[in-house]
Amino acid sequence: MNERIDPAEDADFNEGDGSPDDGEVRDVLPDDLDARGAGLVGPYVFPDNDRRRIPGVLYLLLAAATVVFVVMSNGSPLVDGGLVAGSVGLALVGLYHLQGGWSLDIDEADALVAAVRAVGFPVGHASAQMAWRGLRSRPTWRVLVYSNESPPERRGLVFVDGVDGEVVATHTEDNPEDWS
């Protein structure tokens, strides 16, 4: 039943059937991902890292409930040491989530201001991106800046701590890109 249909011979395929041509088709973000299309007004607010604490608390509660279940079911053939080991692992993951739930006190606008101060040249175009550093997943803004000439003569990369706004690292150089 794998017969091929030739569009030229298909009666349902018609250039004049109201289907859009290729020039009219546009890629569109789904409404739940498009901040502008979802009726949101104002600047985009980056989600805070302290949301990681919620699953951390849930993991700890589940680990505690598992330990209570093991203690209450003492002597049952359905309960063994694997449940205790699993609850210890779950508690460790919960503690990791709690310690990694830093509050993001510096937004991208503050990070851009800190980056402009750190590079030492007038900034034209800039872009900020959230990243996490270290074992404790400390939020850090990575800010890419270009000088304000056209085309830019200098560029820089600045790492700004998302918790306290401290400039962690800075790298500036002459722009090696050819803009001609």
Rg of the Cα atoms in the chain: 27
pLDDT 10s digits, 114-158: 999 999 999 999 999 999 999 988 999 999 999 999 889 999 999
Q: Is the pLDDT of residue 54 over 90?
A: yes
pLDDT 10s digits, 157-169: 999 999 999 999 9
Integer Cα distance of 24 and 140 in angstroms = 41
Sorted by where each starts, the structural domains of the chain and their CATH numbers stand as 1-101 (no CATH), 108-174 (3.10.450.40)
pTM above 0.85, yes or no: no
Question: pLDDT at position 50, please?
Answer: 85
pLDDT 10s digits, 87-116: 999 999 999 999 998 998 999 899 999 999
Residues in the chain: 180
The candidate with the shortest Cα–Cα distance to 162, out of 120, 129, 118, is 129
Q: How confident is the model at residue 42 (pLDDT cuts 50, 70, 90)?
A: low
Q: Which amino acid is at 50?
A: D
